[in-house]
Structure 1
Amino acid sequence: MRNAGFGALAGLVGGLVFGGVMVLIGFLPTVAAIVRTDSPVVGFTVHMLLAAIIGSVFGVLVARQRELLFWGLAYGVLWWFLGPLTLLPILLGRPVAWDVATAQALIPSLLGHLAYGAVTAAVLALLSPGERRFEPGLVVRATAAGLLTAPVLGLGWRGLIVGALVGASYAVIFGERGEGSGPALIRGAAFGFAWWALAAVTISPLLDGRGLQWTPAAVRVAVASLPGHLLLGAGTALLTCWLGGLARAVFSDDVRHALEGRLVGGRVISIWHGVIAGLAGGVIFTGVMVAVGFLPAVAALVGSGSAIVGLVIHLLISQVVGVTYAVLFRRRSFDPASGIGWGVSYGFLWWVLGNLTLLPVLLGATPRWGDAALALAFPSLIGHLAYGAVLGLVYQRLEERVSPWHLTRSEAATARAAARHEQTLSAAPALWSLVTCVALLIPILVS
């Protein structure tokens, strides 16, 4: 009951923020239609009641979670699907329309649900007991990392300001995680998405005097900066993690961290696992590339137009990406679900970094970040997600077969079970869900 009460209170605060948006977009009469009226006052009352109920459910669901931001964002997206796309039409006696056109018309509601989830999670975190420490050194490192990564948004002063804010807020919100480079990379990409919705979609139009621009057309224009924000967040988190590791290596004489969590064998065999897993994912991805005729474009990297050459280059790149996955995510997947979760998230990030950014640059063009380019690249996104799922699953199964020399098989299984339990208490499942939702939202945002 205590968790439900805190959740209801947090939901009311989130509902106030979301309610203000609903006033601006004129959505309250639609909510009021649930009780057969069109009064905005009644609509706001119904909205706040629903916000409290949904918040109380959230408080119960995340009672044992140690961090809430990404759970809140994922919860907001979930209720966008359940609410205006599903339950609201049913309650109004209309057929459910799960199509791109309907979803695109509800983009303002999507952003409002994201705001509701973020605010509700933030208030619930403040109400929950727990030690919170301000770490000046971490803030400095993360801010520096944000400034170093900011050029992905351009060389203007706004990019530098956003980079510094992303880095500083990352340090304040998450603190020193100690989660490894791979999970930090995915966490940063999800944080970059949140900053895109806040900075590019919301704050930037307000600063330009255009007011709140949450219309489908305005969001479609703002999508051009989404890949940059994803890369900014990922790069900031990764550099922050590396700078922290460098600081520990230089200034600490405690070597215990080098032995913690050693659930698998050495790094060399992990790299071979990455090669095999990357090749398996590449074979699956090949079907998509053949279907859309993309292999000649890959062959153009070496000045050829042959599909056979493109296939060879594609499989080599798949293995290289597999090796990077092994380096970044070693000892981070403890069951098939976590392997697929990290793999799909990594595949999505490589779609942004590879297909949308590096491939055009290597071919002498500019990154393809516009809405039309993202729409054309959607088949490649499906291929990258499938590649990532196979990569993560195969790597996890190979890694699980290798036990460290100082543990028996049963002891290794027990250690993996404990690590898996710890992972479920973190934001990892929420990260996997949120990244998947962002991938599925691409057609809606750019259509």
Structure 2
Amino acid sequence: MRFSLSRTIITGVVVGGIGGALLARIPSSSLSPLLGALLGALYGLLFGWLIARHITSAGSGLIWGLSSAFLLWLAIPTGLLPLLRGAGRMGMLNEARAHVPELVAYLLFLGFPLGFVSGLLKMKADAWDRMSSFTFLRAVTIGGLAGLIGGWAFSAWFAQNNAFVLIAGIINSDSSAVGILVHYLIAAIIGASFGLLFQKDIHGTGSSICWGLAYGLFWWFLGPLTLLPLLLHQPIDWSYLHGSALFGSLIGHAIYGMLLGWIYAWGNRLWIGLFIESDPIQRQAEGPGIVTLRSLAWGALASVLGGLLFSGITVATGVFPQMASLLRGSSPLASFAAYLIIGVLIGMSYGLFFHHESPDAGSSMAWGMLYGLAWWFLGPLTLMPILFGHPVTWTIQAADQLLPSLPAHLIYGTVTGLVFFWLENHHAQRLLLSHRVAGHEQRPRRSSGAPAPALWLVVLGLGVVLPVMLG
């Protein structure tokens, strides 16, 4: 059965119309339900016509939907409407904060259902009826286990904030032990759903970490902001003040998502190696040990320039003393050297996770930027305080102090990704001179038509905008 564009457009119009009507019902909206439904139907028509053809699975559909809804929010409530009302420059911070409820509504009422339903239609047309129970078992088993590990990392914040009692209220209990069980059950269910949604899109460890980060950010909107108050019979509050109060949960969901993607990628690779790729004829052009060592060396080399730029930017913006204070008693020179060493180690991990991910220089810069953003969540906000005996700083105040280091992390990742791509591509061009390995070297690379651009947009957009807007 072929994928029908007309059916996709009709579905987009119906789902978008329903979502637009729901969006018009939020208190901060100035739209009538009829006008909201008409605008939502128009958005659904454009989504089905322009975007749905690029969707490959339910997971990629979800990410395409979220990214397009985020762009729509940037263009209309925070951009075009204030300009038409004469409210000042487009995209001002106060204007964006005033429209945080619309951001949540755009993501949950328009982007999520449109992308998800379009992805289901695509899977049904292409391969849903050919998916075996073995594939389903792999997604649920590995995803559920990865979700449990991610939930374990998130549990430290829950314990610090006495959130287990709050979670227990879902089943009308005030027991912390019951809350722990509910927390891990939810973490496993989200992990299993990640495997089901993104199994077709997982190509490597690096991209899987980024898929997990996007999924974790999505669940912050869907979970603590929306479903949790509904389950606790409390009013839903999508204001930026309430979002700021839940900023620690946002960081926790980001860390959970990254761990979920990382563990899932390794478990998925192990499962495939044990149960699927058993044909001894399919041999690698180079041994896995050589590939791993080369990726580590290239990542370290690529990170040197990025680390120098990172340190220079943090010094110029005045944030370096704050970050260096975590290295208690160290001199500025020792702190500078320590950050260069840390940058090299992160670059090595980039080389290990992202080899064969980038078909061109632009995509390598985007992957590097996402990895830099991930390390802003993971590094100064999480690991460094823990390593030096401080509590986890998942607070909006800590994020405000470290916000000037965010551009440095993004630039570090961009430069590291670009240099790594140059080294990898240069080596691949030499291998292509051999006809024996030419086909093998071209096969693993991700196609430029993959849903990666939507992933880059939603992670970078939400990952950068939310800390700025909620601070």
Distance 2:450 2:71 in 1: 19
Asked if the contact 2:296/2:348 (under 8 Å) is kept, the reply is: yes
Structure 1 stretch displaced more, 397-406 or 105-114: 397-406
- Greater shift, 268-277 or 404-413, is seen at 404-413
Map 1:132-147 to 2 at 5 A.
Answer: 132=128, 133=131, 135-147=136-148
| 410 and 369 in structure 1: CA distance in 2 versus 1, 3 angstrom threshold | farther
SS in 1 for 2:341: helix
Correspondence 1:358 to 2:348: no
The code of the aligned residue for 1:99 comes to M
Question: Superposed, which structure 2 residues align to 1:15-414 within 5 Å?
Answer: 15-27=17-29, 30-31=30-31, 43-62=32-51, 63-66=53-56, 67-92=60-85, 95-115=88-108, 116-128=110-122, 129-132=125-128, 133=131, 135-154=136-155, 156=164, 157=180, 158-252=182-276, 253-255=278-280, 259=284, 266-299=291-324, 303-403=328-428, 407-408=432-433
Contact 2:303 2:416 in 1 (8 A): yes
Distance 2:283 2:43 in 1: 43
Instruction: Report deviation, 1:347.
Output: 0.4
Gaps of 5+ in 2: 165-179
Report the Cα offset of residue 217 of structure 1.
1.4
Quickly say closer, same or farther: Cα 1:349–1:141, change in 2 above 3 A: same
Cα displacement (A) at 1:281:
0.6
State whether residues 304 and 340 of structure 2, in contact with CA within 8 Å, keep that contact through their aligned partners in structure 1. yes
- CA-to-partner distance for each residue in 1:232-258, whole Å, 9 max, x for gaps? 112112212211222333345224666
Contact conserved, 1:7 with 1:52, CA < 8 A, in 2?
no
Deviation of residue 328 (structure 1)? 0.4
Change (3 A) 1:24 1:260: farther
Give a deviation string over 1:284-317, Cα, whole Å, max 9, x none: 1112221244444555565433111111001011
- The unaligned stretches of length 5 or more in structure 1 are 32-42
Q: Tell me the equivalent position of 1:429.
A: 453
Structure 1 residue aligned with 2:168: none
Question: Secondary structure of 1:401's match?
Answer: helix
Deviation at 1:148, TM superposition (A): 1.8
Amino acid at match of 1:274: G
Aligned mates of 1:178, 1:411 — CA distance in 2: 27
TM norm structure 1: 0.88
How many Å separate the matches in 2 of 1:411 and 1:339? 27
Change (3 A) 1:64 1:131: same
Q: Which residue of 1 aligns with 2:173?
A: none
Partner of 1:25, secondary structure, is coil
Instruction: Give the equivalent residue in structure 1 for 2:174.
Output: none
Taking structure 2 as the reference length, the TM-score comes to: 0.84
Partner amino acid for 1:25?
P
- Quick one: which amino acid aligns to residue 49 of structure 2? V
For 1:90 and 1:292, how far apart are their aligned partners in 2?
A: 32
Matched residue type, 1:395: F
Q: Could you say if the C-alpha distance between residues 307 and 326 of structure 1 is closer, same or farther in structure 2, counting changes exceeding 3 Å?
A: same
Counterpart amino acid of 1:85?
A: T
**Which residue number in structure 2 is paired with residue 39 of structure 1?**
none
**In the TM superposition, what is the alpha-carbon distance from 1:138 to its structure 2 partner?**
2.1
Q: CA deviation at 1:259?
A: 2.9
Share of identical aligned residues, percent? 29
